[in-house]
């Protein structure tokens, strides 16, 4: 099952150019959705204004070499290893999902564009990586969905409770799951069932890539920029001008909020502080 290109069998019913056009269309949807998200939420404006404020309150000038070093640190810590997660379970789940998604998407494009038919068989490693990527994605994603989500693990909500922010993770898991089932059924020769799960695979992947504006897909592009900006404000000293947040053990805080326990963990309950517990707490 894991050593052959599942897309090569589709050429009997779907032209190669149609599959390639679909991949290009999904890529354009991600780009378009991300740009619309930037315009709608004014993310670029927010980063620009924050950057200008930081420059005005900076205590020192950061040189080009130091900026490059900060960029590399951001890539190594926040991007490649997700070092910003203090919860190691969350971090491992995120890494499995992220690298599984990258493997899955890249090998899908390689198989469809470079080895689209059985007449041009893909090297064994390519379909193996495709299946491995889907499995990694499912492992990390389902681990997060059933055991790590804040509203499930801390608030006791059922795992099937959905919010708009869940569009990304649900459609992502559905895409990888249906892809694996489709590949398995196709390798077993169950043509009718395999076509059904191929259709489900296409529906879920279309949902994933076409709902960037409403899901948290674009978050993966903003996160590195925010991490880089945070490191820059620390390096130029502008971060030092931010007000210090009091500790929960501070007598003044305890007097004002007597019901707050001294240690609240990573997922504190709503103690009347205006915390919106209905807001999505997902990826």
**Rounded Cα gap, residues 274 and 255, in angstroms:** 17
219 located within any domain: yes
254 located within any domain: no
Q: Work out how many domains the chain is built from and give that number.
A: 1
Burial of 213 (0-12, 13-18, 19+ CB in 10 A): middle
pLDDT score of 258? 63
**Rounded Cα gap, residues 159 and 260, in angstroms:** 28
Report which of residues 136 and 282 the model is more confident about.
136
Mean per-residue pLDDT, 51-72 = 80
Residues 6+ away with beta carbon under 8 Å from 19:
7, 10, 112, 116
125 located within any domain: yes
pLDDT score of 154? 57
Range of the domain at 176: 6-247
Q: Confidence band (pLDDT; 50, 70, 90) for 150?
A: low
142 located within any domain: yes
Q: What is the pLDDT of residues 172-206, one digit of tens each?
A: 999 999 999 999 999 888 888 999 999 999 999 99
Q: Which residues of 229-240 are buried (b: 16+ CB within 10 A; e: fewer)?
A: bbbbbebbebbe
252 located within any domain: no
271 located within any domain: no
Whether this prediction's pTM lies above 0.95 is answered by: no
Radius of gyration of the chain from its Cα atoms, rounded to whole angstroms: 23
Q: Confidence band (pLDDT; 50, 70, 90) for 22?
A: very high
pLDDT score of 160? 72
In this structure, how many other beta carbons lie within 10 angstroms of the beta carbon of residue 101? Answer: 21
Residue 62 falls in which region: left (phi positive, over 0), alpha (psi -120 to 50) or beta:
beta
Task: HSE, CB side, 13 Å, CA atoms: give it for residue 189.
Answer: 0
Q: DSSP letter string over 230-277?
A: HHHHHHHSGGGGSPPPPPTT-HHHHHH-TT--S---SS----SS---T
CB 7 within 8 A of CB 19: yes
Q: Above 70 in pLDDT, residue 63?
A: yes
Report which of residues 227 and 150 the model is more confident about.
227
Q: Confidence band (pLDDT; 50, 70, 90) for 266?
A: very low
CA 176 to mean position of chain CA atoms: 14
**Rounded Cα gap, residues 204 and 175, in angstroms:** 5
Task: HSE, CB side, 13 Å, CA atoms: give it for residue 101.
Answer: 20
Mean per-residue pLDDT, 266-278 = 40
Q: Confidence band (pLDDT; 50, 70, 90) for 132?
A: very high
Q: Above 80 in pLDDT, residue 151?
A: no
Mean per-residue pLDDT, 54-80 = 83
Tell me which H or E stretch contains 21: helix 16-41
Q: Is 223 helix (H, G, I), strand (E, B) or coil?
A: helix
Q: Which of 16-20, 43-47, 216-220, 274-278 is predicted with the least confidence, judged by mean pLDDT?
A: 274-278
256 located within any domain: no
Mean per-residue pLDDT, 108-137 = 92
pLDDT score of 146? 87
């Amino acid at each position: 099952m894991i050593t052959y290109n599942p897309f090569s069998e589709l050429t009997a019913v779907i032209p190669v150019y149609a599959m390639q056009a679909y991949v290009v269309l999904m890529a354009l949807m991600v780009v378009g959705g991300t740009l619309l998200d930037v315009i709608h939420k004014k993310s670029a404006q927010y980063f620009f204004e924050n950057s200008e404020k930081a420059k005005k309150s900076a205590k020192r000038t950061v040189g080009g070499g130091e900026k490059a070093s900060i960029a590399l640190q951001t890539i190594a810590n926040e991007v490649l290893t997700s070092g910003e997660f203090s919860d190691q379970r969350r971090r491992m789940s995120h890494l499995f999902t992220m690298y599984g998604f990258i493997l899955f998407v890249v090998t899908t494009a390689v198989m469809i564009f470079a080895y689209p038919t059985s007449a041009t068989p893909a090297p064994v490693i390519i379909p193996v990586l495709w299946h491995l990527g889907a499995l990694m994605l499912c492992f990390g994603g389902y681990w997060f969905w059933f055991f790590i989500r804040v509203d499930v693990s801390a608030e006791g909500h059922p795992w099937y409770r959905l919010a708009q922010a869940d569009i990304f993770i649900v459609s992502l898991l559905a895409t990888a799951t249906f892809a694996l089932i489709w590949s398995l059924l196709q390798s077993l020769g169950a043509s009718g069932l395999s076509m059904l799960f191929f259709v489900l695979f296409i529906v879920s992947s279309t949902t994933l890539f076409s709902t960037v504006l409403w899901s948290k897909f674009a978050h993966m592009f903003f996160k590195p920029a925010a991490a880089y900006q945070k490191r820059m404000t620390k390096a130029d000293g502008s971060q030092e001008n931010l007000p210090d947040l009091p500790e929960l053990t501070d007598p003044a805080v305890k007097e004002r909020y007597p019901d707050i326990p001294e240690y609240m963990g990573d997922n504190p309950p709503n103690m009347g502080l205006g915390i919106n517990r209905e807001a999505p707490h997902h990826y």
